[in-house]
Structure 1
């Protein structure tokens, strides 16, 4: 016997409808590509979404056709997001930091029929458009600009297109399992792979990250997603912002520390989301400007392991709670969030702080386990000590990569993340390393993450990476690549001595290499593959 309850499909269009109806006057603030500010609200975002849905309908697109966006976090991008998915098309967000060859591959692999792009990417799009046979419409997310027309005669302009359309549009009642958006993995090895999210998975994910024990969004908040909308849909923040009706501050392309400090202080941002390199720049800028970041109550750190020293600085200097989270493109992305439980109130402040170093525990909707190898169904103990391959299953976890015939799961239905981790009895996850980044020295494993966390805590170090270098006796040994602060006089010996009493002596890196820059990928992750190619044989040379 079924329950006697209404059924309504879980659709992305319902999020923007809710925001328009109950939070219409709540601010949506956007920094444009030219540095100017646009002050809008959820009602206006909803109206423009409907106008653009009418534009897309006039193109004669079919259900589930792909519409690509190459854009930063701004109000036009947000409006287009809801228009695309809400009207039954698939919003394909693309990382503009990729190489042109990767962009061409991704757009063609997705069979995108429309490409939307920010004004500052016009030259990039012009340079690749002849290699995109499936694309029928190129739309600049801006007002008419004759200089762009000169370079790109067939271009259309978002603002002009909106002016031709009514804001009357009835969102179709779609199947909730229908695809809503498409993101590609960063593709550090081989071609990027597409992850196709559904309306249902996206709405459930939005519920999950809004909860107090998760990212804790509410209508009282002013949320700034610094993580780009092309990076796993800005971790779902724009969807959840509409769901709970909070204010939204979209920082555009200017993600330097000074710009972010000014936005936080001017618009009283309470929650912000970004990768560790972003927060390192913010802390440096806040110190330089003398800002106390008074409004900032919480910042979410993901995309890479958060150094404990960063959590400490946000807490002690700025009275800001740092929420450490873990996820990936294949997990929508939230797989775990670090929030304490009631019983942890009995712990000392130092013990609580130590617990904050982990990536947290899974929200309802996903389950984690560790296994003895990538394909095994043999689960390892949840004792906080035993390391294994991290695997995940749940309502918003990938099943099959876009366009692939075989599924991406183990035989018993789990997705292997490629991370090596521990789990404790409460579900707290500690990522020890990526499986490909672990260092095996004389048959013993060394975590590059642990070594990096120690080094980055040194006050004269701005950024670090630890990689495995080939060693004649021990097979592999860790070496530390480090970027000094501008005024630092630190030496290799000084930095190696900093490890004393913090880690076993045999795990201390064999060498320190100081560099001017550490290569970063488009999502803010260190490109260790590049570093291994450059420095992986350095111990054989001495």
Structure 2
């Protein structure tokens, strides 16, 4: 067999040669729509490679992006790593101090920035001594940042084909930082090899099932874990790519899904909760949508059920982390379930973290490091390994998360089932230990969000003199809805929770705080209510 190095170049070159007429459609933050083909994308990505040469960016140096999802961002996804540099996607929701930290930690040399974020970069750039160039992703650079360059001016007149550099498949390709829910964010470096293999895993039937006949809309920020690998996968297999930039508004987002005949979309549960309300006002919506991939946190059972029942679209739950590139498993039903009632498929497959993609191995271990039985009830610490799983963090941080026998300790608590599926019972730090017994906040949240009055629910531990910890439920209600603590506890009892597991407190709040990637930020709630 030929020993062909695996790299991001292979993904882009396949699109350039064989899918050059397939479109990339961007709904920009301004509300305008931009469309061009993979031929255009490839040309401009090659021009960016030449522009980085002109700027004197050496192979292996970091080029950052601070940008919404858009065609120019896709050009950077390929132009930067395919020229031998390393793409560092910056989270647009970080504070200026956090941005300065990760840019210095990564040693970024160039930043490509959307005009919307120029005021932020104007504050951050003086805090990053190694930063040499600010490039504005626009026709003009403006005057907010001294010495800034216009992206369009920079790539203009560059050659349309850049010679392919010699890239070791194990060389760095992309850099993304964890969300830093426990201390400072840590850098995860993907290689060209891992990026290519992850893209193939994402496109496979065991992954997100992306092929040349599909049109894909990743409503996952491109700054977050490489948009779950969907951009690389779509370009690699020649699927149509649709991008929504700026803050999400359900009405134009659904318009985009319908007008561009999107077949696969992906996003966190909060995206689909808002979209469901918009879809309820439409007749025969989403006629082209084949399935939705939902990750980031466990989607409520009621949400999965609603999309299948009311809109005819299955939600496929996915699990992964920045450290797993991020896709590791999806909750596809198995062939034996084809004739099952949907309720049974929900219980057995769709509400679980899923089945690992081939190449990903999981190990669920007890406190002594021994594997627990996959009996559907025994909890253990979830470990994972595979060709697109990190073997360490940048600069050696967080070494305690990597075991001597070559596994990554995810910090999740999981339960394995005899049929091969596994379930995330909780994050280690979110489990509630009451009187020596564990209570899963994830299970309780799922049950609470099945109440018709409840829009969102987060369950946290609060200190207790007798039991050490007790659960507290924080609820955001549907507009106009009312609910009492007694009704909440009765509902949980009816859904299988023992009396000792029921929350001692129920707090009605207007909003559950979110992390920079849209997950419930329980550390903020714990700080607020645990005093």
TM-score bracket relative to the smaller structure: over 0.9
Q: Of 52, 60, 65, which residue of structure 1 is paired with 2:48?
A: 52
Given the superposition, is the C-alpha separation of residues 442 and 377 from structure 1 closer, same or farther in structure 2, using an over 3 Å criterion? closer
CA distance in 2, matches of 1:26, 1:184: 32
Gaps of 5+ in 1: 538-542
Distance 2:205 2:398 in 1: 37
1:309-329 Cα deviation digits (max 9, x unpaired): 111011001111111110000
Answering whether residue 395 of structure 2 is matched by residue 403 of structure 1, we say yes
Specify the alignment match of 2:28 in structure 1: 32
Describe the SS at the equivalent of 1:293. coil
TM superposition shift of 1:460: 2.0
Indicate the SS of the match to 2:515: coil
Measured after TM superposition, the shift of residue 259 of structure 1 is: 2.4
Instruction: Check conservation: 2:186, 2:397, Cα contact below 8 A.
Output: no
- Per the TM alignment, residue 293 of structure 1 is displaced from its structure 2 partner at its CA by 2.0
- CA root-mean-square deviation: 1.4
1:190 paired residue number:
183
Residues 201-246 of structure 1, C-alpha deviations (whole Å, 9 max, x = no match): 0111111111112210011111000011111000000000012111
Quick one: which of 296, 301, 314 aligns to 2:289? 296
Partner of 2:211: 218
Q: Report the alpha carbon displacement of residue 348 of structure 1 after superposing the two structures with TM.
A: 4.1
Q: 1:92 pairs with 88, 91, 96, which one?
A: 88
Q: Which residue in the other structure is 1:308 paired with? A: 301
Counterpart pick for 1:526 among 520, 524, 527? 520
Residue among 371, 379, 387 paired with 1:387: 379
Q: 2:402 touches 2:409 (CA, 8 Å); kept in 1?
A: yes
Q: How far apart in 2 are the matches of 1:136 and 1:94?
A: 17
Counterparts of 1:161-180 in structure 2 under 5 Å? 161-180=154-173
SS in 1 for 2:455: strand
Q: 2:338 maps to what in 1?
A: 345
1:484-499 aligned at under 5 Å gives the runs: 484-499=477-492
- After TM superposition, the structure 1 = structure 2 runs for residues 324-335 of structure 1, keeping only pairs within 5 Å, are 324-335=317-328
Is residue 370 of structure 2 the alignment partner of residue 368 of structure 1?
Answer: no
The whole-number CA distance in structure 1 between the counterparts of 2:45 and 2:474 is 46
The one-character-per-residue Cα deviations of 1:393-431 (angstroms, maximum 9, x if unpaired) are 110111110111784411111100000001123431100
Give 5+ residue unaligned stretches, structure 2.
none
Match of 1:468 among 453, 461, 469: 461
* Aligned mate of 1:19, from 15, 19, 26: 15
1:405 and 1:320 map into 2 onto residues whose CA distance is 42
The answer as to whether partners of 1:114 and 1:137 remain within 8 angstroms in 2 is yes
Q: Which residue of 2 aligns with 1:140?
A: 136
Helix, strand or coil at the partner of 1:128: helix
Give the match for residue 206 of structure 1: 199
Separation (CA, whole Å) in 2 of partners of 1:278 and 1:453: 17
Match of residue 63 from structure 2:
67
Tell me, yes or no, if the aligned pair for 2:413 and 2:426 is still in contact at 8 Å: yes
Q: Which residue is equivalent to 1:359?
A: 353
Q: Distance in 2 between matches of 1:319 and 1:294?
A: 9
CA distance in 2, matches of 1:496, 1:100: 42
Q: For this pair of structures, how many residues does the alignment match?
A: 528
Query: 1:220 and 1:430, CA in 2 relative to 1: closer, same or farther beyond 3 A?
Result: same
Distance 1:406 1:463, change over 3 A: closer
Give the secondary-structure state (helix, strand or coil) at the position aligned to 1:121.
helix
Residues 200, 396 of structure 1: alpha-carbon distance in 2 compared, 3 angstrom cutoff? same
TM-score for both structures, normalised by structure 1: 0.95
Runs of 4+ in 1 over 6 A off after TM superposition: none
Give the secondary structure class of the aligned counterpart of 1:255: coil
Residue in structure 2 matched with residue 540 of structure 1 by the alignment: none
Cα distance, 1:290 vs structure 2: 5.0
* SS of residue paired to 1:498: helix
Question: SS in structure 2 opposite 1:77?
Answer: helix
Cα distance in 2, alignment partners of residues 171 and 507 from structure 1: 60
Aligned residue in 1 for 2:265? 272
CA distance in 1, matches of 2:127, 2:299: 39
Matches within 5 A, 1:119-138: 119-138=115-134
Q: Is the 8 A contact 2:201 2:358 kept in 1?
A: yes
Alignment partner, residue 236 of structure 1: 229
- Alignment check: 8 A CA contact 2:206 2:358 kept: no
What's the TM-score, normalizing by structure 2? 0.97
Give CA-to-partner distance per residue, 1:110-137, whole Å, 9 cap, x none: 0000011111001011011111110100
**Which residue number corresponds to residue 253 of structure 2?**
260
Query: 8 Å contact 1:382–1:425 — kept in the other structure?
Result: yes
* Comparing 480-489 and 341-350, the one that deviates more: 341-350
Aligned mates of 2:490, 2:228 — CA distance in 1: 38
| Counterpart-to-counterpart distance in 2, 1:426 and 1:137 | 53
